[in-house]
Amino acid sequence: MKKIVLLFLCILLCLSFAACTTEEPSDGLSAYDVAVQNGFKGDESAWLASLKGQDLSLSEVYAAAKEAGFEGDLLAFLKEYLSYDDADLVSAGIAPASAVISKSLLASVSVTCSFEYQVSSYGGWFPGMGGGTTTKTATQSGSGIIYRLDKENGDAYIITNYHVVYYYASLTEDKISDEIKVYLYGSESERYAIDATYVGGSMNYDIAVLKVTGSEFLKNSAALAAVVSDSNKVTVGDTAFAIGNAEGEGISVTRGVVSVESEYIQMQACDNVSIVSYRLLRVDSAINSGNSGGGLFGADGRLIGIVNAKVASSSVDDIGYAIPSNIATYVADNIIETCDGTTVTTPKKCMLGITLGVSGSTAYYDAETGTARIRETVYLTGIQSGRPAEGVLKTGDVITSIQIGDTVYAIDRSYIAVDIMLTCRVGDKVIVSYTRDGAPATAEFTLDDSSLVTVN
């Protein structure tokens, strides 16, 4: 729990009265009345807000606040006067986890996708019974989170995993389902199915965006958009709630912690051919089939990742993975801006033509946040011919920050420089700050179509 800088209420103690005044307090006076008698000017709220200075017991402070007219329970008092939020109260064991996770449930959806595919059928031993094919239907269940929401018009953008909406044997040209339905929390039956369309996605990032348009059911629902956290600030040991459609049985919640805040793993992609490398958060929250595409939420109920994988082995316990929220939302924004309303279905990423290396990777204690963090020195290991960085940057340059538009990103982890390239658009100005032989310098690039490449 945070150290509580509590209200200065020594006037409640008899010894303090003697120090402040020689008069005895009248019977029945509240703590606030005594404060006024001793010279305080202002109402009860001002008194509560201004009397800071020493640590007292929580019960003393809350009792004094009630005497002064505060209306509300202990949780309300903590949040209003002591700068506490729901996450702090949950971490302190004062409030239940449901205090922060309920809004996340309302931002979560179940997803089902249907696919037509063909199987071979062969005749028996009788003449005239030749081979052929039979068309069948497969269904996949997954999860998603409401990313953008327009309740008034019944519109929403939903983030899920690419592998939830893709089936390698599908008869559709792009192998994406042409029958996608989503279900809000608490309404997970066919009666409440909401039709969704595929906007775009990336197999290499395992992110897809779905769109709901003009849904009357959504208009009149309690649905909320997820509140997104900066996943670069996630640290080992942070609480991790996984919310998803486990085993296709409807939305459920599991709780764990972040085990590793950033690592790269390779796995076979959903086309059953490609091998892809993902940067992921590792968690020990229980992850099951159907959780794919669902949200991973922190102790404050904010989205920190999109669940997409687990290690399934009899010799391994509780190793699950989630795409960091920064990557997921960078890709989603890119898809919405690049693909929605067009025939394009894949995002684009800026390629300056540099490869990065890391030296001097060290852990340090961040006193401000009370967490152990990792800092890296990021430098250039190569320059690609024909790309914008050629002739401007050099191998060995140490990257310190990158500015895209008005946003400046400090580069103290190599993945930050890689991830933010997804936020670039045609016409953006990119300023790279670096040091060369110890001297600071900057390089400026204005992006055109040739600077952006398709990310499949």
pTM here is 0.81
**Full DSSP string of 115-137:** EEEEEEE---SSTT---EEEEEE
CA torsion sign for 245, 247, 252, 253 is negative
Query: Distance between CA atoms of 234 and 302, rounded to whole angstroms?
Result: 11
How many helices (H) and strands (E) would you count in the chain?
11, 20
Per-residue tens of pLDDT for the chain, all 456 residues: 333 332 322 322 222 333 333 344 445 566 667 677 777 777 766 666 665 555 566 677 777 778 878 888 777 776 676 666 676 666 666 667 777 899 999 999 999 999 999 998 765 555 555 568 899 999 999 999 999 999 999 999 999 999 999 999 999 999 999 999 999 999 999 999 999 999 999 999 999 999 999 999 999 999 999 999 999 999 999 999 999 999 999 999 999 999 999 999 999 999 999 999 999 999 999 999 999 999 999 999 999 999 999 987 767 788 999 999 999 999 999 999 999 999 999 999 999 999 999 998 999 999 888 899 999 999 999 999 999 999 999 999 999 999 999 999 999 999 999 999 999 999 999 999 999 999 999 999 999 999 999 999
How high is the pLDDT of residue 64?
A: 77
Tokens of 387: 């790309």
Task: Report yes or no: 389 and 447 within 8 Å, Cβ to Cβ.
Answer: no
Candidates 68, 67, 85; CA nearest to 76 is: 85
Task: Report yes or no: 307 and 320 within 8 Å, Cβ to Cβ.
Answer: yes
Tokens of 344: 């394009």
Residue 103: alpha-carbon gap to chain centroid: 14
Tokens of 296: 């991973």
The two domains 234-339 and 348-454 share their CATH topology (first three levels equal): no
How high is the pLDDT of residue 1?
A: 35
In CATH terms, the superfamily for domain 234-339 is: Trypsin-like serine proteases (2.40.10.10)
Task: Report yes or no: 108 and 130 within 8 Å, Cβ to Cβ.
Answer: no
From the candidate CATH numbers 3.40.50.2300, 3.30.470.10, 3.30.360.10, 2.30.42.10, the one assigned to the domain spanning 348-454? 2.30.42.10
Instruction: Give the CA-trace dihedral at 16, 21, 23, 26, to 10 degrees.
Output: -60
Residue pointed to by tokens 């992609």:
269
Residue 119: alpha-carbon gap to chain centroid: 40
User: Hey, where are the domains in the chain?
Assistant: 10-84, 105-219, 234-339, 348-454
- Alpha-carbon Rg of the chain, whole angstroms? 28
Task: Report yes or no: 157 and 336 within 8 Å, Cβ to Cβ.
Answer: yes
Query: Distance between CA atoms of 23 and 28, rounded to whole angstroms?
Result: 15
90 half-sphere exposure, CB direction, 13 A CA radius: 19
Instruction: Evaluate whether the domain defined by 105-219 bears CATH number 2.40.10.10.
Output: yes
